Structure 1
Amino acid sequence: MSSGRTHLKWTDEQIDIRTCKSNRIIVEANAGAAKTTTAALTIAGLVERGANPKKILALSFTEPGVKAFETAFARVGLGREIVRQLPVGTVEDFSAARLERLEGSKVQRTKRPEEVRTAVTDAIAHAREWAEARFPGEFSLHGTGHLAVEGLLEEFGQIKGTLAIQRAGEYFSLTPQTASDLGFSFTALVIFKEYEHQRTNFLGGDGEQARFRYRGDATYDLARLLISDDPPFSWENHPLWVGAEAVIFDEMHDCNWAIFTVLRKLLEVNEGCVFLGVGDRDQVIHAGDGADSYFMKDGFDVEIGRPKRLPLTLTHRFGESLAQPLGRFASKAYTASKDRRSAVEVKIANTAEEILHVVEEATRSRRGLDEDSGLQDVAVLLRHPGSAVELEHFLILKNLPYETVGFKSFLERPEVLFIRLLLTAAVDLQAKFSTEMLLAAKRATWQFIGGTLPGTGGAGETSQVVDSATEENFRSFVLHGLLRDAGHSVSERILQAMALASNNIVADLPKVVAALEINELARRVFVRSSDVEEIESSVSGLLNVAKRYTSTSSLLEALLQYDYAARAKSQKESRIVLSNIESSKGLEFDHVIVPGVNKGSFDGNRPDERSLFYVAASRARNLLTLTHATGRASEFLAGFLR
């Protein structure tokens, strides 16, 4: 230990965890209860008792979690010479390293959807051919599937994280019924099968070497090998034998079946290894890569053995006024540091404009505290990002800078760009898109319409023509060529909508959207029902925005100016954060606003809904503002209204 040990006062709970002699410990922590610091404190205790720092694995689920570890080491007084020896990283990085040792070479790792887009769209084409030959009419995705790529990658993450196919057994056969039994769409699973065949040949049986790995793939690939009946290694050269004396796993609430399979085998192979897992069971959101609360509850007992469970109840993030109702909501003990002050307010907000007033008050408060107070310390956390369209519009009008996290700004949403391009063509306006938005608008329009251009060799050549066309050329020639090749019902709906829009009367836009039947078009180009629901919400928001303008052309003019304004803003400028709740995990803000906590849209007993609300409410340091519509307060608010 370094002589520079900090002089923080540790709580009795932290001391109990640090000094616990059990080989299997799970720390059931509350939000903001210094989970990572406590994990680092435990590592310091192990080193003091003689453990070799090189043999203590400090693992986290995310890269920010790894950085939090590094900060925590300094906080608990671990010297640099010791920290340099500690193997610290994500479970994904650890798995990739063990696979490299097994495979004898590095495999390209990718993190951005753009890097695997071609692999996904190629898989879609092959999957459609396979499905139509065996189960005609069951494959729901039309066209190239470009708009569905990001949603499909998230679906793949859940399929892999849950080890759904492997756990279904060796006799699993993919049919619409078996897909439904697993809880996934038939279309997504067929595409997944083809994608994995391209990526690894694992499912094709032609080899074991992956061609590339996307986020989460290393853990999945390693877990798949670990449960294989014929693994490519023996016990003597097992890839998980690292001589580990301890494994410290932070963010355990993000654990899924693939991660747990690696952890379980790691503890089995490294006999006598100490394990400490730290997490908050109420932050388990199953949509995130297949996270499962099973492992924070009975799963560990069943799969590994009964651990010593220790609490970490004292939150340092917020005060008692938030800790008490949050504890009531989660039905668990919750205390707060006495030096923390926080407040909770519940307000009625029936419209986006009323929510804007709440946001404006928050920004005035921040700026009133200090000229340099960052707007990024004000966060609006959204259950349904599609509902952000009107709020974004008002923020632009008020010249309040903002950034979206976890979802696209309404200016970039494909359905908004598609409708904008159709309206621009219908009222015959010129140059209504910035260069960046035009390319996205052309691609979105092609995907919603479908088809290929007459005279081209198929989707590849059509894509080239779409991308290279000027705005005028696309509207005058390419658009009509696509409509000629689209199905009769699709082209008829779009032409009818454009005819209705040609009068330039903004009040007629609801009729235009109704004629498009945008939901039906969306179901053709997206796999997930949640994507279709968000599209319905965003289009509704766009129609409400349109009411503020005198004509369709004036709306389009305004949207063009918004495009340029969004591009012109300084990246260094302090901004309000608009985030979906999932992306706010692990973050905290001075003031958190959670709009739309309404009956029927953000309530119920489903674990994910409750966890999402818990995560959102527990991000606040100083002030939490919850809003609901008149007479529609969610049952989640009951404990916060006292």
Structure 2
Amino acid sequence: MAAYFTPSRIHPTAEQTDLQTATQPVVLGEANAGAAKTTTLALRIAESLARNVEPARILALAFTPEARDVLRQRLLDIGVPWETVNGLDILTIEDLAMRTLGQVEGEPLRLTQQPRKLKTHVCDAIDAVADRYVGRYDALDLRKSDIAVSGFLDTLLRLKARMALHGEYDDDPVEAAEVAGVPLTDYLVAQSYETARLDGEERALFRTAFDPTYDLARWLQREPGCADTFPRYRVIVCDELHDMNEASFVIVEALVRSTGAFFTGVGDKHQVIHDQLGASHDYLGFRFRHAFPALKTYPLTTTYRHGPHLTLAITQLMGNNGTSGAPDHTEIRQLHYDEASDCAAQVVEAIRQWKKDKHKLEDCAVLMRDRHQSVALENALIEAGIAYRTPVMKGYMQREEILFLRGVLAICLNDLKAVPSYEVRTAVVEALAVFAGMETAANFEKVKHDIAKEPSLLTGFFQGHLGGNALADAATAFADVMRYLLQVPADSPAGDVLSEVCTRMDLAAVAKRVYVNPYAASVVARSVDGFVAMARSSGLDLAAFWKKINAAEVFASRKREKDFIHLDCVADVKGKEFGHVIMPYLEVNEFPNSLMPAKTERNLFYVGVSRTVARLTLISPTQPERRSSFLRQMQIATVAPKADQALRQLEDKVEQERTYRTYLTARYEDREEVRALGANFDTVRKKWYIESGQDQAPFRRWLP
């Protein structure tokens, strides 16, 4: 079918045009990374506008504020006027839930985001579980540390996203927790927390992030007729369907059924990496097809983010049929290291080369598999004077396990005041208490802030003078560590002292107790190992090393507007793109991680390599047998000749297809005259235009 809307600045592929003009009530687009999913949705919206659908009756959904804003920008990019874009409903699913619940409840929703308030609610739920279940179930782990509360809130989010808090096993918490795949303690606390939050299902007393989505989904499940609250949309589109979970699916399905709107959703089954939050390819496949049997699926295989060399390597990795529409040579560089300690130096060299090639540092990203890898990377960047940002994850010096080791140094040197930030000093005290098993000491919350205000109190508290009674027991590991620390000279080698502390504490075992989740505990243990190795390789004594890391924190925490690189984990950059992506530590048991599902690991690697536009640098061990299996699966050298040929064909095609429109300044009263002269009318931009090659002389007075 011929399209009513023709975009500016781009030439849609046949695949995009097919989806843009599809007439089926429910349409899905299965895409590859960089295949212009969002632009294709923008074309779908623009086509609806061109067919006289009112902007107010079009809803565009995304899963994150960033994706929502990108969709708005893509509409502007293809030529939809700002005033028209402003009339569309472009929302995250959370936005939609907040607005809908606000209308029903008669007042705007306000979210509780402050960690202290959330911790209070969690602690109340823990107390309720203790009162009801202690003695009934063995081995309940009812800790209240910041780490434990944070871990519980993560588990609660997973349960809500998968709508797993209520089901057929409600009368048997043990069975329900097992089916949900969470510890019994977390399941019981979640039930108690939600009962209090929802006041026995009557109304929400408070909400935090994702609660509006969950509450709306629960309401729709209990009372399907409440879907009549939604506006009468005619067209609904949804981006990034690979991030869909059960709660969001309940909402989207109810939306489509209740409004009878035409629905279009796009996603990439290979970008499903949030399976812990209930994301699944099932929604792109089985779930939508089961709900809407007449739906039609359209492929989006052509990527515009990177050229044929990377595209063909990715098709080998993922077994898909992707092609590139970008007439650019995306470089794939491979660097190698003999020892893991040398990998960070290779990263620094790759960044320097990017800058030497006259590119902006802000266009460069170092993407890691796990956060423990950043210890060596951050130190190498600081040593090289390369500024960096960690947009999502914390820098390594603000992580609990490293804060504990910094606390050890502060006790040893009696110098917590050297940490300039009050918030960081508070976090140091918290980490010491958690890893020492003392977080439940009497009045700890107050004492923690007292110590942050007056750092000289630190050593006294952990000696037992201010409530740390656990230290009076000579058999505790931390009491042994305290005795050791208080007699160590300040000129002792920092690496040796930290290593001794880790051995005496058995920090790997402590991490398992504190973090419960085996994968999280393994990352923490590796992070500790990296910090100790860094201290040892520095050759510095305790005093000099303490000075060095506090100065490094000051460097790392400076806010910069330019001349910085991005440093983050792959899982946190989905949906973004960079000119240069550097992926370090591509070795066995690092990437892929043996503790995680193989399919998730491959999808995660795919997300990482597909973020780049111009250059991809892959850094792996010198020994082939130690390298990540993903590198072999990409077959980079094998596909290069075919990629060279594809690139030449694309370059030739671009030259042949250079056709542009020239928009005219004709007014409404000129319409009959310009039409008679052969001009065409763009129904979305509401402007007349002529095609490239058309004689411009008759239109001279309307030329811009």
- 2: CA distance between counterparts of 1:350 and 1:218? 50
What amino acid is the match of 1:416? I
- 2: CA distance between counterparts of 1:250 and 1:4? 21
Question: Gaps spanning 5+ residues in structure 2: where?
Answer: 638-704
- 1: CA distance between counterparts of 2:481 and 2:273? 40
Q: Which moved more, 1:557-566 or 1:290-299?
A: 557-566
In the other structure, the counterpart of 1:173 is 172
In the other structure, the counterpart of 1:13 is 15
- 2: CA distance between counterparts of 1:125 and 1:522? 24
- 2: CA distance between counterparts of 1:140 and 1:522? 15
State the Cα distance separating 1:531 from its structure 2 match: 2.7
What amino acid is the match of 2:614? N
In the other structure, the counterpart of 1:197 is 195
In the other structure, the counterpart of 1:67 is 69
State the Cα distance separating 1:258 from its structure 2 match: 0.4
In the other structure, the counterpart of 2:390 is 404
Say if 1:127 and 1:519 are closer, same or farther in 2 by CA, change over 3 A.
farther
- 2: CA distance between counterparts of 1:606 and 1:425? 43
- 2: CA distance between counterparts of 1:625 and 1:483? 52
State the Cα distance separating 1:4 from its structure 2 match: 11
Question: Are residues 1:318 and 2:306 paired?
Answer: yes
- 1: CA distance between counterparts of 2:471 and 2:417? 29
1:607-622 → structure 2 map (5 Å cutoff): 607-622=599-614
Say if 1:110 and 1:452 are closer, same or farther in 2 by CA, change over 3 A.
closer
In the other structure, the counterpart of 1:492 is 476
- 1: CA distance between counterparts of 2:299 and 2:340? 40
For 2:476, what is the secondary structure of its paired residue? helix
In the other structure, the counterpart of 1:639 is 633
State the Cα distance separating 1:561 from its structure 2 match: 1.7
1:409-428 → structure 2 map (5 Å cutoff): 409-428=395-414
Counterpart of 1:260 (choices 249, 255, 259) is 249
In the other structure, the counterpart of 1:447 is 434
State the Cα distance separating 1:70 from its structure 2 match: 1.1
Conserved? CA contact 1:109–1:214, under 8 Å: yes
State the Cα distance separating 1:489 from its structure 2 match: 7.4
- 1: CA distance between counterparts of 2:29 and 2:428? 49
State the Cα distance separating 1:288 from its structure 2 match: 5.9
For 1:102, what is the secondary structure of its paired residue? helix
- 1: CA distance between counterparts of 2:353 and 2:114? 37
State the Cα distance separating 1:183 from its structure 2 match: 1.3
- 2: CA distance between counterparts of 1:403 and 1:452? 31
State the Cα distance separating 1:362 from its structure 2 match: 2.6
For 2:546, what is the secondary structure of its paired residue? helix
In the other structure, the counterpart of 1:109 is 111
Conserved? CA contact 1:141–1:525, under 8 Å: no
- 2: CA distance between counterparts of 1:253 and 1:357? 36
In the other structure, the counterpart of 2:121 is 119
State the Cα distance separating 1:619 from its structure 2 match: 0.6
Counterpart of 2:455 (choices 471, 478, 503) is 471
Conserved? CA contact 2:582–2:616, under 8 Å: yes
Output one character per residue of 1:502-554: Cα deviation in whole Å (capped at 9) or x when no partner. Answer: 24233243222111122333344334333322210110001111111232222
- 1: CA distance between counterparts of 2:572 and 2:432? 28
Q: Which moved more, 1:542-551 or 1:288-297?
A: 288-297
State the Cα distance separating 1:111 from its structure 2 match: 4.8
State the Cα distance separating 1:276 from its structure 2 match: 0.3
Percentage identity across paired residues of the two chains: 27
Output one character per residue of 1:177-211: Cα deviation in whole Å (capped at 9) or x when no partner. Answer: 4312321122222222222223223xxxx342112
What amino acid is the match of 2:348? E
1:142-153 → structure 2 map (5 Å cutoff): 142=143, 144-153=144-153
Conserved? CA contact 1:54–1:86, under 8 Å: yes
What amino acid is the match of 1:477? F
- 1: CA distance between counterparts of 2:255 and 2:527? 46
- 2: CA distance between counterparts of 1:160 and 1:91? 14
Say if 1:324 and 1:488 are closer, same or farther in 2 by CA, change over 3 A.
farther
What amino acid is the match of 2:523? E
- 2: CA distance between counterparts of 1:496 and 1:70? 59
In the other structure, the counterpart of 1:285 is 273
- 2: CA distance between counterparts of 1:565 and 1:19? 53
What amino acid is the match of 2:58? I
In the other structure, the counterpart of 2:237 is 248
In the other structure, the counterpart of 1:528 is 517
Conserved? CA contact 2:335–2:618, under 8 Å: yes
What amino acid is the match of 1:280? D
Q: Which moved more, 1:338-347 or 1:586-595?
A: 338-347
Conserved? CA contact 2:145–2:439, under 8 Å: no
Counterpart of 1:376 (choices 362, 365, 381) is 362
- 2: CA distance between counterparts of 1:174 and 1:485? 35
Conserved? CA contact 2:363–2:565, under 8 Å: yes
Say if 1:593 and 1:490 are closer, same or farther in 2 by CA, change over 3 A.
farther
What amino acid is the match of 1:634? S
In the other structure, the counterpart of 1:80 is 82
- 1: CA distance between counterparts of 2:191 and 2:278? 18
State the Cα distance separating 1:634 from its structure 2 match: 2.0
In the other structure, the counterpart of 1:33 is 35
- 2: CA distance between counterparts of 1:225 and 1:430? 50
What amino acid is the match of 2:613? R
In the other structure, the counterpart of 2:545 is 555
Conserved? CA contact 1:376–1:576, under 8 Å: yes
In the other structure, the counterpart of 2:346 is 358
For 2:481, what is the secondary structure of its paired residue? helix
